[in-house]
Structures are given as structure tokens and as C-alpha cells.
């Protein structure tokens, strides 16, 4: 005798567990600092999911700040200068502005570059692809947090819960595909997967051989 199986509704605890597993995978695509900041502050700012109006504003504030951090991190880069020191900075339309060059003579640290190598650090189309992708991934990552869900979507129905549960998987796949399709050579702040670029000193011209 055939019987019909009724689909059971997704419980909040099960939804939270699945979302947290997917969010952990998304975190690997984001700058470490912004992820740690969000994970540390969101439980307190949301009052562990029991939000008042003030908690909602605080939570939105940290999400916006961390989202901006993810976006801007895609334009940062690092390199080893001609003096052997590590330098960090942000790409601009005209070149690269160094943050930590304390002995800079021009205020931007460009004396650590060879002029012909400066163009490689300028803003490119790929930077915007990574920036908007990282921004989207972080927003999905934040939405996957159970405290954020309880704060902003306390009465989510079955459709909303199914969307929240599967959205991180789709976002992770799309982000991985875009990062593979548009690879970047930047080694920005928060991304420590590979060694930074080493700027080689400009080679002097070779002397003429004697006849």
C-alpha cells in the first residue's frame, strides 16, 4: 500500500546549522579581518538574535562597515620594496598609494617602485569584479548568521527558509567561478594565501665590451 510522505518544515535550529556550515565555506573567499570582526561583533550587536530597534541599527552598521571593508580590500595590494621591507597600499587610477612607508619622500611611497613597474599596480577591470563579488559574498555570509536571521527575519516562512539555506551554496559557487574566470595577482590586506610581489631594483646598463 502506497503512502504519501509529507514534507516536514525546516526547523530553525536545523536551518541555522546548515547556514553556518555554508557560511564557513564562504568565509574562505573573504578577507580574514572582516570575517573575524563580523563573527565577533554580530552576536553582541544582535543581542543573540533578540533584537530591539537599537540592536537592528547596530547590526546594520557592522554589516555595512564590514561590507565596505571587503569591497575596498580588493583594491589593496602588498609588495616587497627595493629596501627589502614589506609595504601595503591601495591601487588608484594613476598608480599605487602606500600606507606604511614612514620614510617616504613623496607621501605615497612611490620611490619604492621602478616607474615602469608602477602600471602593474593600477586599478583594473578585474579589481571591480573581485570587489563586487566579495561584497555580495559577505552580504550572503552575514545573512547566513542565525542571529541576523532571528533579528531581521523572525517570522520567515518555508520559502524564505529554503532560500536562506541554499543561497550560500549558490553564492559560493558563483564567486568561485568568477574568481577562477578572472584571477587576480593582488595580495591585498587580509589575503595571505601567497607571497607578495617583490619589486626588483632597476638594473644598471651593462658596460660596453672592449674591442
Q: How far is CA 30 from CA 54, 95, 103, 140, 197, in A?
A: 28, 25, 32, 11, 20
- Specify the 3-state DSSP secondary structure of 139: helix
The pLDDT of residue 97: 82
Contact status, residue 120 vs residue 208, Cβ threshold 8 Å: no
For the chain, the average pLDDT equals 76
Amino acid 27: pLDDT: 65
**Which of left, alpha, beta for 49 (phi over 0: left; psi -120 to 50: alpha)?**
left
* Beta bridge partners of residue 197, listed in sequence order: 79
C-alpha cell at 178: 568568477
Write out 3-69 in H/E/C secondary structure.
CCCCCCCCCHHHHHHHHHHHHHHHHCCCCHHHHHHHHHHHHHHCCCCCCCHHHHHHHHHHHHHHHHH
Nearest to 74 by CA among 153, 152, 136: 136
The listed range with the strongest mean pLDDT (20-34, 51-65, 149-163) is: 51-65
Half-sphere exposure in the Cβ direction for 188 (13 Å, CA) = 26
The pTM score is: 0.73
pLDDT confidence of residue 209? 44
In what side-by-side order are the strands of the sheet with 197-198? 96-98, 86-91, 76-80, 197-198
Rounded Cα–Cα distance for residues 209 and 52 (Å): 80
> Residue 117: phi, psi to the nearest 5?
-95, -10
8 A C-beta contact, residue 50 and residue 164: no
Retrieve residue 94's grid coordinates.
594613476
Q: What share of the chain in percent tops pLDDT 70?
A: 66
Sign of the torsion formed by the C-alpha atoms of 3, 4, 9 and 10 = positive
Supply 43's cell numbers: 552576536
Query: Please, which pLDDT band fits residue 7 given cuts at 50, 70 and 90?
Result: very low
Residue with C-alpha cell 570587489? 131
Amino acid at each position: 500500500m502506497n503512502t504519501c510522505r509529507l514534507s516536514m518544515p525546516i526547523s530553525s535550529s536545523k536551518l541555522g546549522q546548515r547556514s553556518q556550515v555554508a557560511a564557513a565555506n564562504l568565509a574562505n573567499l573573504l578577507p580574514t579581518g572582516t570575517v573575524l570582526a563580523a563573527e565577533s561583533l554580530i552576536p553582541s550587536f544582535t543581542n543573540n538574535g533578540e533584537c530591539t530597534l537599537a540592536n537592528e541599527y547596530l547590526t546594520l552598521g557592522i554589516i555595512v562597515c564590514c561590507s565596505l571593508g571587503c569591497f575596498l580590500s580588493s583594491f589593496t595590494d602588498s609588495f616587497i620594496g627595493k629596501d627589502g621591507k614589506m609595504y601595503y597600499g591601495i591601487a588608484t587610477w594613476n598608480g599605487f598609494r602606500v600606507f606604511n612607508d614612514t620614510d617616504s619622500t613623496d607621501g605615497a611611497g612611490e620611490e619604492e617602485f621602478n616607474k615602469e613597474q608602477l602600471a602593474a599596480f593600477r586599478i583594473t577591470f578585474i579589481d571591480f569584479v573581485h570587489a563586487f563579488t566579495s561584497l555580495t559574498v559577505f552580504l550572503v555570509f552575514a545573512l547566513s548568521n542565525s542571529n541576523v536571521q532571528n533579528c531581521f527575519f523572525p517570522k520567515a516562512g518555508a520559502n524564505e527558509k529554503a532560500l536562506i539555506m541554499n543561497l550560500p551554496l549558490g553564492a559560493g559557487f558563483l564567486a568561485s567561478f568568477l574568481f577562477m574566470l578572472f584571477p587576480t595577482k593582488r595580495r591585498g590586506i587580509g589575503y595571505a594565501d601567497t607571497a607578495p610581489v617583490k619589486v626588483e631594483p632597476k638594473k644598471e646598463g651593462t658596460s660596453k665590451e672592449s674591442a
